[in-house]
Amino acid sequence: MYIKICGLSTPETVRTAVDAGADAVGFVFAPGSPRTVDPGLAARLVADVPETVETVGVFRDQPIDEVIGIARAAGVGTVQLHGSEPDDDLRRLVDEGLRPFRALSASAFGGLSEARRSALGAYRLLIDAAEPGAGVTFDETELGRRPEGFWLLAGGLTPENAARLFRFFEPSGVDVSSGVESARGVKDPVRIEAFVAAARGAAGRASE
């Protein structure tokens, strides 16, 4: 079970996520989010993250050269693309030594052709609700067949619903942002710890 805590912007909450046992921490570089950080702040936060924890930059419909420049400046090793970026952008990230996550809404993924599914199977997927970062879950009928390979479930996860949704969707891992906040854009260390514990607990029970 892979756990990603996203939308971090303070040293304290990054430390809480790492100490709680998160596999990845995410920083939002998409403009217009209450969680958007500049690359300089992200670089200072990334400097305190152990190498065993993946660092992820979140982008949405930004030019790929800009994405690569920000990822380099911030020092993140992984790039999560949330918009309608072409597959060429994913290939370019791989060529640049960055690890891509392709984020898609559940309904978009559910509507893909077999050929498109298998093309995307080359990448790690993140299946989200229609409006990323809004803390909204998608309807359980929207996804249909689960992706093959490694994929993360996102969209409105919380410490309270993580175990149930993990058991229902059986993803490779989970990703959360709004659900571990006390107010929009403000991360809550207690909820981060509770989320990691709930997700780990559910994964442990699933493997028994």
Measure the CA angle with vertex 32, ends 30 and 38; round to 5°.
55
Q: Report, in Å, the least distance between residue 8 CB and ligand LGQLAAA5.
A: 10
Nearer to ligand LGQLAAA5, 27 or 68 (CB): 27
Nearer to ligand LGQLAAA5, 95 or 139 (CB): 139
DSSP 10: S
3-state secondary structure of 24: strand
Cα 36 to Cα 133: distance, rounded to the nearest angstrom: 11
Q: Given the rule CB under 6 A, which residues bind ligand LGQLAAA5?
A: 6-7, 26, 28, 30, 33, 35, 58, 60, 82, 128, 132-135, 154-157, 175-179
Q: How far apart are the first and last CA of the chain?
A: 14
So which residues are the catalytic ones?
6, 128
Q: Report, in Å, the least distance between residue 208 CB and ligand LGQLAAA5.
A: 27
Q: Report, in Å, the least distance between residue 11 CB and ligand LGQLAAA5.
A: 19
Nearer to ligand LGQLAAA5, 83 or 118 (CB): 83
- Strands 54-59 and 24-28: what pairing? parallel
Cα 85 to Cα 65: distance, rounded to the nearest angstrom: 12
